[in-house]
Amino acid sequence: MNLQQRPVRDSKPGPYRVLREADLRDYLAQLPDVADRLGGTPDAWSISEVGDGNLNLVFIVRGSAGGIAVKQALPYVRLVGESWPLPLSRAHYEYLALTHQARLAPGLVPAVLHHDEALALTAMELLEPHIIMRKGLIAGTIYPRFVEDVTTFLARTLFFTSDLAVSAAQKKEGIAAFAGNHALCKITEDLIFTDPYREAEQNRWTAPWLDKMAARFREDLDAHVAISRLKLKFMGQPQALIHGDLHTGSIMVTETETRVIDPEFAFYGPMGFDIGAVLANLIMAYLASAGHERSAGERRAFEAWLLQTIEQVWTEFARKFVELWRSEAHGDGYPKTLFAGLTGEAWLEAERQQYVEQLFRDTVGFAAAKIIRRILGLAHNIDFEWIEDARRRAVCEARSLHLARAMLVDTESFATIGDVTRRARQLRDWQPDFAE
């Protein structure tokens, strides 16, 4: 597992240009492996741009033999436009992360077929019939395989890139390999850890209902201290190679398969940021669910599954992580020679539990930050946005903000994941007073 390896260059480098469908056809036609996979003649391939994310172009290309997905980075933030430039190098970091994650968590990320540094372009296997998990959750679909797969992904990618598993030299090489991805980190530092708590031009929320709540967050110094501590952890704790944007829009699912996509925000950061992202998005799916029901209570079974999933994502992650620590700890952290014999092992086991308890606190805090940014910041979630009635949407968002504020500021009062789901369940039917 050498993170320093150069990305493969399957074709001659050329200058960057934004590819249109016709350019992409010509480009792919000269890649023999890709052309074989698609089959037939290039003029018969269908190509459509389907990207609905905030940053990139995504094309689906189909031929007589099969399909591929092609992602190209734009030199700016797609959501905002050319006024917000963004380095193309994020495609390099995404490629590096994807190929590393494929080795650490086989079968849980899309296979890379081709990467072009100059074009900031990556061709991947087409995930079919997978859909973006967020859309499935809005539809009320249960994913029985999800807990098993996402906790394997989290436990293995985080453990095997940490000081518990690799040497200090390897770890530092890993940190160096991703250190240039700072422009993407800066987006997170601003949009998640700063802007929702101050007047920022790009902030938005469901007005007028959330006006008072938004104003309270801007004046809430307890929240400002808590979010600043988390920001410092995000910037200064290179615990492991994290995905960096692990929301339910970065996960593709069927009822039997899970794939984690889009690691362009990857860098060495705190593990709790990834785990918190998954939990935050499940919590938002749960508290948005009332906004999607057509008759009262029709989604109760789905909501019960979501609460159980939130609990199991944490407990299964923690179990798998500790198990890896017991069996695969070849890193320079906690040298074996310092914990010899039965007594040493008992102390080490107690230390593992402490580590996981701290990780849980980090996770709860980061989850809170991820919820708040989706309701008060620039980039919102369709979980809420697709609730057409604005007042109804604001009710779901207010419940989520209420829970998130408690998780952010009173993190210690959430001793277990059961405390999180209990508070979420209590808020499911809470009626906020928007005049307060």
Which chain residues interact with ligand SR1 by CB under 6 A?
A: 54-55, 77, 79, 187-188, 191, 245, 379
**187 binding partner (options ligand SR1, Mg ion, none; Cβ < 5 to 8 Å by kind):** ligand SR1
Minimum distance from CB of 197 to ligand SR1 (Å)?
15
User: Of Mg ion, ligand SR1, none, which one sits near residue 109, judging by CB under 5 to 8 A according to partner kind?
Assistant: none
Q: Specify the residue, 262 or 383, whose C-beta has the smaller distance to Mg ion.
A: 262
* Nearer residue to Mg ion within complex by CB, 149 or 262: 262
Taking the complex as a whole, how short is the minimal distance between the CB of residue 264 and Mg ion, in angstroms? 6
Question: Would you say 55 or 369 has its CB closer to Mg ion?
Answer: 55
CB 289 within 8 A of CB 387: no
Comparing CB distances to ligand SR1, the nearer of 34 and 55 is 55
Residues 381/370, Cβ–Cβ less than 8 Å: no
Residue number with the shortest CB distance to Mg ion? Answer: 262
- At its nearest, how many Å lie between ligand SR1 and the CB of residue 77? 5
H/E run at residue 347: helix 341-376
CB of 270 to Mg ion, least distance (A): 19
Q: Which window, 47-55, 101-109, 195-203, 421-429, contacts Mg ion (CB under 5 A)? A: 47-55
Which residue among 94, 117, 195, 262 contacts Mg ion (CB under 5 A)? 262
Residue 101's SS3 state is helix
Residue placing its CB nearer to ligand SR1 in the complex, 160 or 384: 384
Give the whole-angstrom CA distance, residue 169 versus residue 372: 37
Q: Which is nearer to ligand SR1, 170 or 381 (CB)?
A: 381
Residue 311 touching Mg ion (CB under 5 A): no
- Long-range contacts of 35-41, Cβ-Cβ distance < 8 Å, separation of 24 or more: 36/65, 37/63, 37/65, 37/66, 37/68, 37/113, 38/62, 38/63, 38/64, 38/65, 38/66, 38/67, 38/68, 39/63, 39/64, 39/65, 39/66, 40/64, 40/65
Number of C-alpha atoms within 13 angstroms, CB side, residue 89?
Answer: 12
All residues at 6 or more sequence positions from 41 whose CB lies less than 8 Å from its CB, including other chains:
none
Query: Residue 242 CB, nearest distance to ligand SR1 (Å)?
Result: 13
Q: Return the SS3 of 128.
A: coil
- Between CA 279 and CA 418 the distance in angstroms is 13
